[in-house]
Amino acid sequence: MRTTDSAAAADFLALCRQLTALGEGGPGIEEVHASRGVAFGDFDNDGDLDILIMNQNEPPSLLRNDVSGDYHWLKVKLVGTKSNRSAIGATVVASYGGKKQAQAVMAQSSYLSVSDRRLHFGLGAAAAADLEIRWPNGARETIPQVAAGQLVTVQEGAGVVKRERL
Ligand SMILES: [Ca+2]
Ligand SMILES: [Ca+2]
């Protein structure tokens, strides 16, 4: 993968080499392509993020995440009712273990790419998170102590309407 940000590329390559040295990188992570876009998402629904890279004049590269570990994650899917149904423009702030992490639902993420609209929060050792949702129309909603290891669907104004173990 090539990027126009040389510092970010150097960091990414260093991470790739560390993963390869640990036997966790796989052969695809160090392949060189002329790439234009990237999308992040859990294509195989196993709870971790995978990466799809759009290459120039070549098929895309799918980097499947097979790293295992004991850390927790939480996925959040938003469904707008008063706001747009895809909840594009909404932000979710997850608070856990004294930390905060914010993510937004976006219509696109990179050149000719769109990431999974199910927001993915890595929670580390925390087994639950408090969620604050800021809907595109300005409304706010809080959902305390959402357990890790699941995909929750939150409908605007109705809270969690579905819980799925992946
Ligand atoms: Ca995955
Ligand atoms: Ca995986």
Q: Token pair of 49, please?
A: 């993020």
pLDDT at 31: 83
Taking the CA of 67 as reference, the closest ligand is: 2
164 burial level (CB within 10 Å; 0-12, 13-18, 19+) = exposed
pLDDT at 30: 75
User: From ligand 1's centre to the CA of 56, what distance in Å?
Assistant: 24
pTM confidence score: 0.84
The H-or-E segment that residue 19 falls in is helix 6-21
User: From ligand 1's centre to the CA of 127, what distance in Å?
Assistant: 19
User: From ligand 1's centre to the CA of 122, what distance in Å?
Assistant: 13
Short-list 51, 56, 11, 50, CA closest to 32? 56
Per-residue pLDDT of the chain (166 residues; tens, 9 = 90+): 444 567 777 777 787 778 778 777 777 777 889 999 999 999 999 889 999 999 999 999 999 988 778 899 999 999 999 999 999 999 999 999 999 999 999 998 888 899 999 999 999 999 999 999 999 999 999 999 999 999 999 999 999 999 999 8
Short-list 114, 120, 116, CA closest to 92? 120
Q: Token pair of 145, please?
A: 């102590």
